Amino acid sequence: MSEQTTQPTQLRTDEVLLDVRNLKQYFPVTRGLLIQKKIADIKAVDDVSFFVRRGETLGLVGESGCGKTTTGRSILQLNVVTSGEILYEGVDLTKLKPSQMRPIRRKMQLIFQDPYASLNPRMSVGEIIGEPLIVHNMSRGRELRERVEEIMRIVGLNPYFASRYPHEFSGGQRQRIGIARALAVEPDFIVCDEPISALDVSIQAQIINLLEELQEEFGLTYLFIAHDLSVVRHISDRVAVMYLGKIVEIAPRAEIYDNPLHPYTKALLSAVPIPDPAIEARRERILLTGDVPSAMRPPPGCNFHTRCPIAIDYCKQALPELRDVGGNHMVACHRVGPGAL
């Protein structure tokens, strides 16, 4: 797997746009109908730290329930964060009042996975795309209509269809509507939460290309949440791998795909089938045994030890810290990297 590191855009700078520090997002589990008693916490995100540079794409991968979507929502302040800091352009969003948060919301947008559930069926496409512009007082009247038409053109929709309703569009076109809505308020940062998972194979590449073109044109920064590792490799500059609420490995793209260190990352990569029977026949698989444990009662020590092929007794006791093993490659595992057990 050789990698060309061509990065033509000058947009990617070293400036850190988003800095997430020790983010914890717990959801209480209650019992009882009238008198609700908290019996446990679901540790959806458990002490996660990472940063995103302006103009780059950070891929966030992991299996369902690992906390990747929750992380995205917590960053956008759609959850009340349990603890930790979310610094956006140096400002800690968790400390802001709702009125202070509103102008920042304009700069941070979200693209959803399901283009069927995320568009109001009773609003026309023009209304859907125009609504955020009205909410943020950005334009109105004739100007609004022109702006909506302009955005529709940018995402590859015919402005002529502005008066139509979502059900008249296919999945791929709906996703374009969702992208247009996010783009309307001229954001800097977009959380793309599995934006292509619900789309047909032949349409996925169209949307990926669109997202890349928009990034280049408007200097956007993406947090790209997905479970498809080949797509994440295509679109991301850096990649973070999550397992059961924690980041287990984070590294520049080429590094993580050519030199994965964490046993979970290795297993994930080996599980991705490659569309070539000749290669598939020769490939060795790392088949993980068992299921992902419950986030309500994560195992002690390293939470991956129950499925890990190289776990030792020490892994059951001590939590591995995310540490730098060189080349901006961070991994949380006792068994790999310099000084490994």
Partner 1 sequence: MGTLLDVKDLSTYFYTDDGVVKAVDGVTYDLQEGETLALVGESGCGKSVSALSLMRLIPWPPGKTVSGEIFFDGEDILKVSEDQMRHIRGNRMTMIFQEPMTCLNPVLSIGTQMSETLELHMNMDKNEARQRSVEMLRLVGIPDAERRLVDYPHQFSGGMRQRVMIAMAMACNPRLLLADEPTTALDVTIQAQVLELVKRLSDEFGTSVILITHNLGIVARHADRVNVMYAGRIIERANAADLYREPRHPYSLGLLRSVPRLDQSRKEKLEPIEGLPPDLINLPSGCSFWPRCKYAIDKCHEETPPLMEVDKNHWAACWVAMDRRLT
Q: Which residues bind partner 1 (CB under 8 A)?
A: 1-4, 6, 63-64, 170, 172-173, 200-206, 208-209, 212, 227, 229-231, 233-234, 253, 257, 267-269, 271-280, 285, 287-289, 291-292
- Closer CB to partner 1, residue 142 or residue 282? 282
- Closer CB to partner 1, residue 18 or residue 231? 231
Distance CA 162, CA 53 (A): 35
Q: Are 304 and 241 in contact (CB under 8 A)?
A: no
In the complex, the smallest distance separating the C-beta of residue 173 from partner 1, rounded to whole angstroms, is 7
In the complex, the smallest distance separating the C-beta of residue 337 from partner 1, rounded to whole angstroms, is 22
- Closer CB to partner 1, residue 93 or residue 192? 192
Q: Distance of alpha carbon 202 from its chain centroid, rounded?
A: 22
In the complex, the smallest distance separating the C-beta of residue 266 from partner 1, rounded to whole angstroms, is 11
In the complex, the smallest distance separating the C-beta of residue 268 from partner 1, rounded to whole angstroms, is 6
SS3 142: helix
CB atoms within 10 A of CB 214: 18
Nearest to 303 by CA among 260, 266, 263, 261: 263
Residue 332 DSSP one-character state: -
Report the greatest alpha carbon distance in the chain.
68
- Closer CB to partner 1, residue 6 or residue 10? 6
In the complex, the smallest distance separating the C-beta of residue 267 from partner 1, rounded to whole angstroms, is 6
SS3 266: helix
In the complex, the smallest distance separating the C-beta of residue 203 from partner 1, rounded to whole angstroms, is 7
Helix (H) or strand (E) holding 33: none
Distance CA 157, CA 90 (A): 36
CB atoms within 10 A of CB 299: 15
The CB-based long-range contact list for 76-79 (8 Å cut-off, 24+ gap) reads 76/105, 76/108, 76/110, 76/191, 77/101, 77/105, 78/110, 79/25
In the complex, the smallest distance separating the C-beta of residue 260 from partner 1, rounded to whole angstroms, is 11
- Closer CB to partner 1, residue 99 or residue 289? 289
The CB-based long-range contact list for 1-6 (8 Å cut-off, 24+ gap) reads 1/257, 1/258, 2/258, 3/253, 3/254, 3/257, 3/258, 5/254
In the complex, the smallest distance separating the C-beta of residue 90 from partner 1, rounded to whole angstroms, is 33
State the helix-helix crossing angle for 141-154 and 125-135, rounded to 10 degrees: 120
- Closer CB to partner 1, residue 246 or residue 253? 253
In the complex, the smallest distance separating the C-beta of residue 4 from partner 1, rounded to whole angstroms, is 6
- Closer CB to partner 1, residue 77 or residue 204? 204
- Closer CB to partner 1, residue 108 or residue 292? 292
- Closer CB to partner 1, residue 225 or residue 267? 267
Q: Which residue type occupies 314?
A: Y
